[in-house]
Each structure stands twice: as structure tokens, then as C-alpha cells.
Structure 1
Amino acid sequence: MNVLVVEDDIELNQFIQKGLQSEGIGVSVAYDGIIGRSLINEHQYDVVVLDVNMPGMNGYDLCRFVKQNWPAIPVIMLTALSSLDNKVMGFESGADDYLAKPFAFKELVFRLKALARRHPSRAPLPKRLELLNLVVDTESHQVWRAGERISLTAREYALLEYLLINQGKVISRIDLLENVWDVHFNTNTNVVDVYVNYLRRKVDHIEPKLIHTVFGVGYLMKAEP
């Protein structure tokens, strides 16, 4: 596993670097967002770890950059900003996981390995995903329905892309939580249903409806009623 750590606290950055290396994990480090962006452009990483408040480019913007260009690379936000609003901003930026400081180093290692397992190096997505008159450009993350451009948040896009990749299959809420939100434990959250409703308002305002509820199971994306 090869990890990039973008953290402007030099002491903490070096601590993480040494700790990960002792676990046999390859590590590159950057001390500001601009250098981090350059490294991401030049090298391939299995996971990217981002602080939020950094000089040059903050973690939210850098996360958006990663997800716009390499959506398969998982990102974990590692920051002292631990409020719910901050976490929402992190996930809306496309983060796959969020760990607040102070943190237990073993937990960081566990989360990195879990992300790497969940997002192994895999064949690239096709450039276009299509279902009836819905078209998704997986490189630019642009979406159209019947020729109309649809604006989605990073999380809405990730949800739509996952449903489209698995079109014709019933996807459970747990599956969506694990693969779109990277939540790997039982939870009573209704975030999946909330975001499916967001998507429906934007994507299914044109007939026929493409996102279907399979009651008691999950969701299904298909062109037929």
C-alpha cells in the first residue's frame, strides 16, 4: 500500500510517516495543499490522507481535486475540525472517511487498510455510463438527462455512479453505506434515503423514473417501471 499524507504540522506529519513505515506501508508526505496536488498529479497512491486547514490549498479543495480526477482513490480527512458541519463539508467534498484529531494511531492504520481493501486497484470505469436518456461522463463527472445538464454534489454523484454501475441489481442500504459513504458498521442513519431523494428530485423529474425502491431491501436502477 502506498499512502500520501498531506499535513502542514511537520511534527505530526513525520510521526505519521514513521509509524506507517514501521507497518510496512509506503508513505509520501507534503506539508501544504499545493505540494500535495503536485504529488497526486505525478504519482499513484492507494489512499490519500488530508488535513483541512493548510496553506496553499485547503483539504476540502484538494479532496475535490482528487475526486474530480481520480474518483477511485479513497481520501480520509484527518483534522481537528470535528463538528458535524465540518464532517458534512468533508463528505460533501468527496471524502471516503473522516478521522478527528486527536486520534489513535492504530485506528488510523485500521482505517487506511480498510479503505485500501474497499478500493483496490481496479479496471478504470468506462468514460460514459448510460441508462435510457441518462448519461454520465465518469471523467468530468458531468450528468445529463434527456440532454439537460444536471448539477450534483460530490456525494450525489458518487451515489448515482454506484447505482449506474450496478444497474439492474437491487442494492441494499448497507451496500450503499459501505461503498458510497465507507461506513462499515450498523447504523440507524437515514442518510441513504435522504440522498436517494435528492437524486430523484434532480434525475427523475423526467419520465420514466429510473430509481426504484425495493421495499425492505434497497434500491434498483433500471429503465422499466
Structure 2
Amino acid sequence: MLEPMDILVIEDDRQIGSALRQGLRGEGYTVEHVTDGLTGLQLALQHPYKAIILDVMLPGVHGYRVCAELRRSGVSTPVLMLTAKDGEYDEAEGLDTGADDYLTKPFSYVVLLARLRALIRRGGEGGSAGGPLRAGDLWLDPATHRCGRGEQEIALTARELMVLACLARGRGQVVAKQDVLDEVWDPAYQGGTSIVEVYISTLRRKIDAPFGRRSIETVHGAGYRLVDDGAARA
């Protein structure tokens, strides 16, 4: 029986894939490298990797679709997406499909390694000592990476859950964008706080809009606040 791998690298550039495989193995990880989206998707659905490094421009099935299919199938493995594209809209597209982090080529291997370690660490962390966090009928349990409203569970990516947990731990207080960035993102992240806005927008679409709620309030010039909106309607 094959030993389970730590990292799945889905990258069609063989030079980049080989460099990642060798570098990560040098760090003590076991690595599996494939060069097309379909094979990568099949492996990711079958095996419990610690993290997935996923290129966007892949033959057969592109990275956005691979990530979306994984999340649709309930696979919550942290995904670090690689792309030659740049810009906030491209990043938002990757995040909307369920990616946990985003790195633009050409990238620094040191930064990639730091981001990867952060994703693996956060993916394996337990929740707070106080147990599940709540705001009205909205609940989230960082220990089990679950979230829902009442009895209906809501699928969130690892980073979406961390952003929501950051707001929930504020206990109704305003949480600044920079505080969210400092708590949830790795120190190696070089982007601005606009990425927090992207995640807040995604969370609203998942935890509020389908239920007619407005539990994440924007406090202009200050940040965000998670509230119990009761039966309030958007």
C-alpha cells in the first residue's frame, strides 16, 4: 500500500513542478506531482493531502474548475493557487472557486513555502478553548472546520472560516481590516487589505444572502462587525 503524500502539486510546467517537488522534499514533505487538471482532480478526490499547490493554466481541466469541483465535493484541503495572471479580479476569481491563497508567477520560493506552511498549520489547528462560536443562529466550529445556520451546514474554505472566526471572536466589536489581515494571513503576504474585502463579500454570499440576513456589518472607516441580526431581512 502506498504511503499517503503530504503535498499534491498540479503544475504542467515540468521545470517548475520539478523544482517544487525537490524543494519541498528537501523540507521534509512527501510530494506528488502531476501535470494535468483531470489527474490532479482525481487524486485530490481520492487522497487526504495536507495541501494542494494548483496552477490555473492546465491542460484538460483548468485550475479554477479543479478547485471548484473539490469544494463542491466537500474536499476542504487547503489550496494554494499559482497563476501567471495578475490583478485583483483574477485573485477574486480564484478565491471564489474556493482557493485558500493565491500566488502570482514568477514567485519567490521562500514566500511560497511560508504561505504553504501557514495553510497546513491553520488547516490542522484546533478551535478555541471555548468551543463553537455563535452569532444568533449562525455558528462555526474552528476545531472541526464546520459552519452553519441552525441545522443547515454551510460549506466554507479554510480561510473563509478563519476570517469569519476572527470576526466572531470580536464578540460584536468592530474588527479592523488590518487586524483580520494580521490574524488570518501569513506575515509574508505582501498584498493590501483589499483582499479582506474580497473574503467579506464571499462570506456574505454564503452565510447571509441565501438566508435573507445581514450579519456582517460594514463600519465605514473602521472595519467589520459580526452581529446577531435575528430575523432581520436584507
TM-score between both structures, scaled by the size of structure 2: 0.66
- Mapped to 2, the partners of 1:154 and 1:116 lie a distance apart of 13
2:56 maps to 1:56: no
Are the equivalent residues in 2 in contact too, given 1:64–1:93 (CA < 8 A)? Answer: yes
Cα offset, 1:106, TM superposition: 2.4
Question: Which residue is 2:38 aligned to?
Answer: 34
Out of 70, 74, 78, the residue aligned to residue 82 of structure 2 is: 78
2:223 maps to 1:223: no
List runs of 5+ in structure 2 lacking aligned partners: 128-132, 141-145
Q: 1:37 to 1:165 in 2, by over 3 A?
A: farther
Stretch moving more, 58-67 or 96-105: 96-105
Structure 2 residue identity aligned to 1:210: S
Out of 67, 72, 83, the residue aligned to residue 71 of structure 2 is: 67
Three-state SS of the structure 1 residue aligned to 2:69 is helix
Out of 29, 46, 52, the residue aligned to residue 25 of structure 1 is: 29
| Residue-by-residue CA offset, 1:105-143 (whole Å, 9 max, x unaligned) | 2222222112222222558xxxxx98656699xxxx998
Cα offset, 1:64, TM superposition: 1.5
TM-score between both structures, scaled by the size of structure 1: 0.68
Q: 1:155 to 1:202 in 2, by over 3 A?
A: farther
Cα offset, 1:214, TM superposition: 6.7
- Mapped to 2, the partners of 1:122 and 1:156 lie a distance apart of 14
Stretch moving more, 27-36 or 187-196: 187-196
Question: Which residue is 2:143 aligned to?
Answer: none
Cα offset, 1:17, TM superposition: 0.7
List runs of 5+ in structure 1 lacking aligned partners: 124-128
Q: 1:94 to 1:176 in 2, by over 3 A?
A: farther
Aligned length: 213
- Mapped to 1, the partners of 2:39 and 2:22 lie a distance apart of 20
The alignment-based identity, stated in percent, is 31
- Mapped to 2, the partners of 1:88 and 1:60 lie a distance apart of 11
- Mapped to 2, the partners of 1:7 and 1:100 lie a distance apart of 14
Cα offset, 1:40, TM superposition: 1.0
Structure 1 residue identity aligned to 2:50: D
Cα offset, 1:61, TM superposition: 0.9
Question: Which residue is 1:126 aligned to?
Answer: none
